[in-house]
C-alpha cells in the first residue's frame, strides 16, 4: 500500500512489454486454469456423458410418457370441453374414431392400449380389438357404434383416464412404484392388494443390503485386525486369501456359489450334515425344505462373500495406521484387554468401519446378477425389476421410476450417514 502511494498515479506496475502486471498475472493464471481444465476435461466429459446425462434422461423418462398425447390429438382436444360427469359428446367419439383409424394405419394402437392398460387393467386387448374394427365406421353417429364395439367406451372412467393421460408428463410411474395410483377423481390412493409389490421390493432391497453389510462387518473386522497385527510374513499370506477372490470376476464367484449351493453341492451337504440347515429352517431363513439353492440365505451368503473385501480393506488400512502404543498405554493405565480394545482401539477404527460399510451397503443396493442366479423369485432386488422392465416389458417409464426410487434412497441414506458419522471422517486408508 505504501508503495502504491509513493508512486505517481499513472505509474502502475508493468511487465517488460508494457502490459500492466495485474492483467499479465490474471492472463497467466487463466492460462494455467485452462491447462488444468484441459487435463481434466476428458474425465469431465466422460462423467457428463456417462453419468450426469443418463441420470437426467432417467429422471425425465420417469415422468414423460407421450404415447396417448401423440396418438390421440383430436380426442384430447375434444375432451377439453367435457365436463367429466356424463359420457362425452358425439364430437369426442368422432375425434376418437379418426384418431384410432390413423393409429391403426401407423400401427400405434397397441401403444395406446399399453399406456391405458397401466391404469385400467385389461383395456389393452380391447383397444387393439377396437383398432381392428374401427375402420368399418365411416358414418356418424359414432357414439353408439363405438360403444357397440366394446362397452368399455361407454364408461366415464375410460374417458377420464384418457384425459388424464393427455399430458405428455404423468405422475403415474412414480406413484405406481410407491404402490399408489390416481383415482378417477384425480386423488391419490393405494393400489389394490394384488398389485402392491414395489414397497415390499424396496424394503427387501434395503433389508438384504443391511444384512449383507452387517455380516461382512462381523466377519471382516476380526480378519482385518488379524491382518493388521500379524507379523509381516503371515499377514501377506493371509492377504492373498482376501485378495484372490477379490480379483476374481463377480460372475465367476456367483456361478461357483450356484454349484456349491445345489442340492447335492459341497456346501449344501456340509450345511445339512452339520445340522446348520436344520437350524436355518428353525429360524425361517429358508423355505421349509432342506434346500439352500434359490433361497434368501443363499443370496445373502453369496453377496457377503463378494462384498467382504470391500468392507474389510478400508478397515484394515485404517487399523494399519493405529500405533500399538495406544493399547499399551491403555493397559499400563490398568485397562483390561477387552476394555482397552473397546474403549481405545475400536473408536480409532470407526472411520474405516464407516467407509467399508457405506461402500458395501451402496454397492449391495444395486445387486442384480447374484440374486438372479442364486436367489429365488422372492429374493429379487430393485435392480432385477429394472432389468425386467427394460428387457422383458419394454416399460422404460417403470424402469426409470424404479431407478429414481433407488437414487433417492441412496441419497437419503448418504445424508443420514453424513449426519451420523460425518463424511469427512470417512477414511479409505
Which residues contribute to the site for other proteins (CB under 8 A)?
106-111, 114, 117, 121-122, 124-125, 128-129, 131, 194-195, 197, 200-201, 262-264, 287-289, 291, 293-294, 377-378, 380, 385, 388, 390-394, 396
CA dist., res. 22 & res. 300, Å (int): 63
Q: How far is the CB of 376 from other proteins (least distance, A)?
A: 8
Q: How far is the CB of 287 from other proteins (least distance, A)?
A: 5
Query: By C-beta, is 232 or 391 nearer to other proteins?
Result: 391
Q: How far is the CB of 410 from other proteins (least distance, A)?
A: 21
Element at 189 (helix H, strand E): strand 188-190
Q: How far is the CB of 278 from other proteins (least distance, A)?
A: 18
Query: By C-beta, is 248 or 289 nearer to other proteins?
Result: 289
C-alpha cell belonging to residue 312 = 474389510
Query: By C-beta, is 87 or 258 nearer to other proteins?
Result: 258
C-alpha cell belonging to residue 138 = 365411416
Could you tell me which residues come within 8 angstroms of residue 287 by beta carbon, excluding any fewer than 6 positions away?
295, 376
Q: Which of 395, 259, 352, 245 is nearest to 306 (CA)?
A: 245
Burial class of residue 349 (count of CB atoms within 10 Å of its CB; 0-12, 13-18, 19+)? buried
Q: How far is the CB of 197 from other proteins (least distance, A)?
A: 5
CA 97, 102, 107 angle in degrees (round to 5)?
120
Q: Is omega for the bond preceding 418 within 30 degrees of 0, making it cis?
A: no
CA dist., res. 125 & res. 110, Å (int): 8
Q: Which of 39, 13, 112 is nearest to 71 (CA)?
A: 112
Contact call for residues 150 and 124 (beta carbons, < 8 A): no
Contact call for residues 368 and 383 (beta carbons, < 8 A): yes
Query: By C-beta, is 268 or 311 nearer to other proteins?
Result: 268
Q: How far is the CB of 284 from other proteins (least distance, A)?
A: 13
CA dist., res. 350 & res. 197, Å (int): 37
| Helix, coil or strand: residue 220 | helix
Query: By C-beta, is 360 or 380 nearer to other proteins?
Result: 380
- Judged by phi (left if over 0) then psi (alpha if -120 to 50, else beta), residue 107 lies in left
Torsion of Cα atoms, 391 then 396 then 402 then 406, to 10°: 90
Four-residue CA torsion sign, 333, 336, 341, 342? negative
Q: How far is the CB of 17 from other proteins (least distance, A)?
A: 26
Query: By C-beta, is 12 or 378 nearer to other proteins?
Result: 378
Query: By C-beta, is 128 or 239 nearer to other proteins?
Result: 128
Contact call for residues 20 and 28 (beta carbons, < 8 A): no
C-alpha 3 chain-centroid distance: 61
Query: By C-beta, is 117 or 272 nearer to other proteins?
Result: 117
CA 105, 109, 113 angle in degrees (round to 5)?
175
Estimate the crossing angle of helix 198-229 against helix 346-365, to 10 degrees: 140
Q: How far is the CB of 341 from other proteins (least distance, A)?
A: 44
C-alpha cell belonging to residue 101 = 383409424
Q: How far is the CB of 27 from other proteins (least distance, A)?
A: 22
CA dist., res. 174 & res. 403, Å (int): 10
Q: How far is the CB of 405 from other proteins (least distance, A)?
A: 15
Query: By C-beta, is 121 or 248 nearer to other proteins?
Result: 121
Query: By C-beta, is 81 or 289 nearer to other proteins?
Result: 289
Query: By C-beta, is 8 or 288 nearer to other proteins?
Result: 288
Q: How far is the CB of 260 from other proteins (least distance, A)?
A: 13
Amino acid at each position: 500500500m505504501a508503495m502504491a502511494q509513493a508512486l505517481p498515479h499513472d505509474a502502475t506496475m508493468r511487465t517488460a512489454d508494457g502490459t500492466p502486471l495485474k492483467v499479465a498475472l490474471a492472463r497467466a493464471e487463466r492460462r494455467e486454469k485452462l491447462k488444468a481444465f484441459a487435463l481434466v476435461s476428458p474425465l469431465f466429459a466422460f462423467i457428463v456423458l456417462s453419468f450426469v446425462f443418463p441420470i437426467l434422461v432417467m429422471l425425465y423418462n420417469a415422468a414423460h410418457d407421450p404415447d396417448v398425447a401423440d396418438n390421440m390429438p383430436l380426442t384430447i382436444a375434444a375432451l377439453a370441453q367435457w365436463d367429466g360427469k356424463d359420457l362425452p359428446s358425439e364430437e369426442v367419439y368422432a375425434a376418437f374414431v379418426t384418431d384410432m383409424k390413423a393409429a391403426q394405419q401407423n400401427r400405434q394402437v397397441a401403444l395406446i392400449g399399453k399406456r391405458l392398460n397401466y391404469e385400467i387393467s385389461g383395456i389393452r386387448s380391447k383397444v387393439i380389438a377396437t383398432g381392428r374394427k374401427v375402420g368399418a365406421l365411416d358414418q356418424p353417429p359414432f357414439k353408439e357404434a363405438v360403444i357397440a364395439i366394446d362397452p368399455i367406451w361407454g364408461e366415464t372412467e375410460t374417458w377420464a383416464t384418457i384425459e388424464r393421460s393427455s399430458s405428455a408428463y404423468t405422475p403415474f410411474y412414480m406413484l405406481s412404484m410407491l404402490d399408489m395410483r390416481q383415482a378417477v377423481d384425480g386423488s391419490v390412493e393405494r393400489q389394490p392388494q394384488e398389485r402392491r409389490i414395489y414397497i415390499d421390493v424396496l424394503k427387501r432391497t434395503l433389508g438384504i443390503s443391511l444384512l449383507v453389510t452387517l455380516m461382512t462387518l462381523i466377519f471382516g473386522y476380526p480378519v482385518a485386525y488379524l491382518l493388521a497385527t500379524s507379523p509381516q510374513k503371515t499377514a501377506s499370506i493371509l492377504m492373498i486369501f482376501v485378495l484372490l477372490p477379490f480379483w476374481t470376476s463377480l460372475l465367476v464367484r456367483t456361478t461357483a456359489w450356484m454349484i456349491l449351493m445345489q442340492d447335492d453341492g459341497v456346501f449344501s451337504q456340509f450345511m445339512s450334515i452339520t445340522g446348520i440347515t436344520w437350524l436355518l429352517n428353525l429360524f425361517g431363513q429358508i423355505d421349509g425344505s432342506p434346500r439352500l439353492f434359490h433361497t434368501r440365505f443363499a443370496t445373502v451368503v453369496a453377496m457377503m462373500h463378494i462384498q467382504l473385501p470391500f468392507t474389510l480393506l478400508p478397515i484394515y488400512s485404517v487399523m494399519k495406521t493405529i500405533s500399538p502404543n495406544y493399547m499399551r498405554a491403555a493397559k499400563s493405565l490398568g485397562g483390561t484387554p477387552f476394555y482397552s480394545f473397546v474403549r481405545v482401539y475400536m473408536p480409532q477404527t470407526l472411520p474405516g468401519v464407516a467407509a467399508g460399510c457405506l461402500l458395501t451397503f451402496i454397492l449391495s443396493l444395486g445387486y442384480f446378477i447374484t440374486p438372479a442366479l442364486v436367489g429365488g423369485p422372492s429374493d429379487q432386488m430393485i435392480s432385477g425389476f429394472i432389468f425386467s422392465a427394460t428387457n422383458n416389458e419394454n416399460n422404460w417409464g417403470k424402469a426409470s421410476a424404479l431407478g429414481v426410487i433407488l437414487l433417492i434412497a441412496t441419497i437419503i441414506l448418504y445424508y443420514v450417514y453424513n449426519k451420523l458419522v460425518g463424511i469427512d471422517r470417512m477414511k479409505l486408508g
